[in-house]
A = this chain, B = another copy of it.
Amino acid sequence: MKKMVYFFGEGKADGGAELRDLLGGKGANLAEMTNLGLPVPPGFTISTEVCTYYYASDDHSYPPGLEDEVKKAVARMEKILGKRFGDAKNPLLVSVRSGARVSMPGMMDTVLNLGLNDETVKALAAATDNPRFANDSYRRFIQMFGNVVLGIDGANFENALDAIKEEKGAKQDTDLTADDLAELIERYKEIVGREHGADFPQDPWEQLWDAITAVFRSWNNDRAVAYRAMHGYPGEWGTAVNVQAMVFGNMGEDCATGVAFTRDPSTGENYFYGEYLLNAQGEDVVAGVRTPHHLGKREGEEGSLEEVMPEVYAQLLEIVQKLEQHYRDMLDIEFTIEHRKLWMLQVRSGKRTGAAAVRIAVEMVRDGLIDEKTAVSRVTPDQLDQLLHPMIDPSVSYTVIAKGLPASPGAASGSIVFTAQEAMDAADEGKEVILVRKETSPEDIRGMAAAQAILTQRGGMTSHAAVVARGMGKCCVAGCGEISLDEEAGTMSVGDKVYHRGDVITLNGTTGEVIEGRLPTLPPQFDDNFRTLMGWADEFRRLKVRTNADTPEDSQLAREFGAQGIGLCRTEHMFFGEGRIDAVREMIVAQDEEQRRRALDKLLPFQMEDFRGIFRAMDGLPVTIRLLDPPLHEFLPHKDEEIERLAKDLGVAPEQMRRIVDSLHEFNPMLGHRGCRLGISYPEIYLMQVEAIIRAALEVAADGVHPMPEIMIPLVGVDEELRILREQVVARADEIIADSGRELAYLVGTMIEIPRAALTADAVARHADFFSFGTNDLTQMTFGFSRDDAGSFLPAYVAQGILPKEPFQSLDQEGVGQLVRMACEKGRSVKADLHLGVCGEHGGDPDSVHFFHRVGLDYVSCSPYRVPVARLAAAQAALED
């Protein structure tokens, strides 16, 4: 085995930031700072390869030679600091910390103050002239070591602490004297003896090895495993272990500890931003027991570091400037001041809001720190998405009453209503409402449009409510199983709590939270920085980005967001409009082709009107229109009285109407008579739609608009389906075009959403100008998951790590992706210029966009509000190549 232990100290380190995989993020950056000549307490990092070795060996042992390397590294620390590990006079104390290649906050274990024992604690007391501090450090160490390393339930120590406080009449921990703490140490040691079955180890070396092993073991604790599963990090990475000399910010009023950002992490403004506490340890800043002070002087405030220790502040400022210049990124640093000496304990890329991310990236380019490619890579798609939706003011705190799936981002408040009709009525009165439903159906669409946000009890991330809400850019929390609804009583209950119609709630669609009452929200932000960044992204990407839009309004909006055409225009949503649904129902219950044609004739002008508007909005850009897809029964009523009303309207016997509705019932509508199967059964439906598309295109063309229609046939599973339908479509379209005396180019293609279509894509491609991957249905069928029903088990699958992510949110590259890749290859093997795109929900998911870039699609299509996210992700995918 190669080198296992990497030393850092006295201005020189064995590695640097480039060794992140081997040393972990923390270790690599400690080395880097050391090399930069910054004041870093010396120490060493045991590499992640040792972790891998440890888990690969049958008896969880260490590689030979490790002990020796560690000993040498400790000796170097001793030499630098003039202290000795376990020395009764001048003991070296160390921290032992985990550090993987990515930050996994709080997931793994840490041990501080290691090296203290009954002897060295006295030396520490003498050296600091502060016996209370020394004893407190020791009892903390026993407690931490007992819990983390020896696995003793922490409650044992907490109880002992509470007991002694009661005995001594101490209200706070700080009320305990040095002697009280000495007594507590004895009790702690008893606890260790009892619970662990052995004395607390006094040998610092034994302490050290036990702590190292504990950190390696913590890589596979339940928390860490779940976290990795959630983020898709492989277990093989392993963690490094960092052993570093302790420095203390809590040894007196000339000591301090603090955290800082090189720029404001909320706004991105370029000033040194941070907080510190005098006479405190790192965790005190985080814990928030005392209110920290700002680092820089501020008007009307006192106690800044700039004022209290101006020379240390100046040094710190110089260091962070150097660091930002060096790392060329906004940084998050931790430091400790021990007797006015500054020590750098950590540096890493700073977490930031979306607004800050964009501003920092753009300003750093302006200042020559980074180039445009780096700027585009620096902003995550999630950060960008924050900018596109209203968000709850981060400064307010609130109470979450239930949690569902974050189905569509943003935030909104309003009064509870339970039906689409109520929502529309309220909207007419100018009221803001939240539509709460068990689940939504296409009949609810106008109610959803009228509401501020939607909350459903059932359904997953790609349920009807979720998909439609995202399309509308409207906040939605779906599949919130904790609530139960009683529509008639007009109540929503969560546990014992009951909310009534009219009660105000707030939804956070970004987190899935349901919140009591009204909260202030911040509006979306599209500033110059945003536009600048998106402009760079557009230069770098190869994938085009289209949008899924069914109306002229949505088309217009998407175009403003940068959409380069429509990838999916669903014609059936148009069928629910006023005056239309009646004709649709008349068509469905038609007893022969003649009746059906009469009803279709009524629909034709409506469809033409829709298409004219969309073609105008997308002047000069392609518009992919999917012919009718859902099963016919989705358009029929199902309640007895509604069926009777419809029967009366259409002049049909109620009995017969019931029979028709009944005969269209399906056990598994997802796998039933829909998509092109309808086109095969009732060619006149598709031909009416084709006529509407072509005639609308010819009409707007006469006005100087340049329409680019692409007719898409859904749900093809057998090449012969497409051959037959394409022939019919082309015949009708060409006839209309010829009659018009004009010219019009159009394409005919298909969705690839049935596994069999992907498997036989070479045969299918012969009849297609383009493929558009319908990854929603493809995912449903490849997994055998109904997206409307999977809510009962999918969340648990993700939580248990059976699946890394919800496959309806982020494409399952291993399984479904295999079919996508196969279809691309097979399709292009027979038709090299076959146009390829995706119109499933995955078109707006960054990881999926990367995949689609890699397999060579021409475009992705997503809801209007995801278009900027997809543009950024597409650019990042191209830059990764």
Nearest-neighbor residue (CB-CB) of A724 within chain B: B802
Cα–Cα distance between A720 and B754 once the two chains are bound (Å): 24
- Which residues A667-684 have CB closer than 8 A to chain B? 667-673, 677, 680-681
Cα–Cα distance between A818 and B670 once the two chains are bound (Å): 23
A681 touches B796 (CB 8 A): yes
Cβ–Cβ < 8 Å partners of A669 in chain B: 667-668, 789
Cβ–Cβ < 8 Å partners of A802 in chain B: 680, 718, 720-721, 724
Nearest-neighbor residue (CB-CB) of A785 within chain B: B671
A667 touches B670 (CB 8 A): yes
Cβ–Cβ < 8 Å partners of A50 in chain B: none
Q: Min CB distance, A806 to chain B, in Å?
A: 13
A819 touches B759 (CB 8 A): yes
Interface with B: A28-36, A618-626, A774-782, which one? A774-782
Q: Min CB distance, A716 to chain B, in Å?
A: 10
Q: Select which of B668, B672, B724, B756 is within 8 A of A782 by beta carbon.
A: B756
Given known A792-B672, A793-B681, contact A803–B718 (CB-CB < 8 A) = yes
Nearest-neighbor residue (CB-CB) of A673 within chain B: B792
Cβ–Cβ < 8 Å partners of A780 in chain B: 671
Cα–Cα distance between A6 and B151 once the two chains are bound (Å): 93
Q: Min CB distance, A316 to chain B, in Å?
A: 48
Q: Is A800 an interface residue (CB 8 A)?
A: yes
Candidate in A724, A763, A785, A801 with the most chain B CB atoms within 10 angstroms: A785
A673 touches B789 (CB 8 A): yes
Cβ–Cβ < 8 Å partners of A14 in chain B: none
Cβ–Cβ < 8 Å partners of A394 in chain B: none
Cβ–Cβ < 8 Å partners of A594 in chain B: none
Q: Is A812 an interface residue (CB 8 A)?
A: yes
Q: Select which of B781, B793, B816 is within 8 A of A784 by beta carbon.
A: B781
A815 touches B668 (CB 8 A): no
Cα–Cα distance between A584 and B109 once the two chains are bound (Å): 46
Cα–Cα distance between A681 and B718 once the two chains are bound (Å): 36
Cβ–Cβ < 8 Å partners of A205 in chain B: none
Q: Is A786 an interface residue (CB 8 A)?
A: yes
The contact string, 1 if C-beta is below 8 Å from chain B, for chain A 744-782, is 000000000111100110010000000000000100111
Q: Is A666 an interface residue (CB 8 A)?
A: yes
Q: Is A814 an interface residue (CB 8 A)?
A: yes
B668 touches A671 (CB 8 A): yes
Cα–Cα distance between A780 and B802 once the two chains are bound (Å): 24
Q: Is A715 an interface residue (CB 8 A)?
A: yes
Cβ–Cβ < 8 Å partners of A673 in chain B: 789, 792-793
Q: Is A797 an interface residue (CB 8 A)?
A: yes
Cα–Cα distance between A814 and B677 once the two chains are bound (Å): 20
Q: Is A444 an interface residue (CB 8 A)?
A: no
Q: Is A717 an interface residue (CB 8 A)?
A: yes
Given known A781-B781, A797-B680, contact A788–B756 (CB-CB < 8 A) = no
Cβ–Cβ < 8 Å partners of A755 in chain B: 755, 781-784, 815, 819
Given known A668-B788, A680-B797, contact A815–B759 (CB-CB < 8 A) = yes
| A-B contacts besides A670-B786, A755-B782, A755-B784, 19 pairs, CB < 8 Å | A666-B788, A667-B670, A667-B786, A668-B669, A671-B780, A673-B793, A680-B800, A681-B796, A717-B785, A717-B815, A718-B803, A720-B802, A753-B784, A754-B784, A755-B755, A759-B818, A759-B819, A760-B814, A763-B814
A/B interface sample: 15 pairs, CB < 8 A: A667-B789, A668-B669, A668-B786, A671-B780, A671-B789, A717-B815, A718-B797, A724-B802, A754-B783, A755-B782, A755-B815, A759-B782, A759-B814, A760-B815, A760-B818
